Amino acid sequence: MRYYVKVTKEVAEVITKAGVPLTMTHDGNCLLYQSEMNDVPGVNLSARAAYAGGALIEEYSALAEIDGSVATPAYCYTPVEYGGDGDTRNKDNGFGADMPDVSSESEVSTDKKESEVTNE
């Protein structure tokens, strides 16, 4: 199956060769052909897309991304390696790094010896 890779314009400008026109999506990002991802680090297309902060787009979904008729556009971002801020999806929305770590409150305590544990 053929895939396109949706990436930000900043990433596309680094990956593509100079003078190659970019295929723009309705939300201002770009669609790249699989072959344009050959020089991006990764063992397969999925890994290369992830490294570039992109998303794999199936061939039949590409037109919907371009004309804006897709219900939920695929998410992409500019990684730090390409001069961006990285994946910011979970920042400032209540699920990101700014939330306190409460995992220690629910951890099972292993400080007591088995003989000290009671069934109260």
Domain boundaries, the chain: 3-82
Specify the pLDDT at position 23.
94
For residue 35, count other CB atoms closer than 10 A to its CB: 7
Rounded Cα–Cα distance for residues 17 and 40 (Å):
13
Specify the pLDDT at position 99.
47
Q: Which residues contact 27 (CB under 8 A, 6 or more apart)?
A: 65, 68, 73
pTM of the model: 0.72
Specify the pLDDT at position 85.
83
Q: Note down pLDDT in tens along the chain; length 120 residues.
A: 789 999 999 999 999 988 889 999 999 999 999 999 999 999 999 999 999 999 999 988 999 999 999 999 999 999 998 888 888 877 655 544 544 444 444 445 555 555 565 665
Residue 103: strand, helix, or coil: helix
Beta bridge partners of 56: 5
Specify the pLDDT at position 119.
63
For residue 114, count other CB atoms closer than 10 A to its CB: 5
* DSSP code, position 19: T
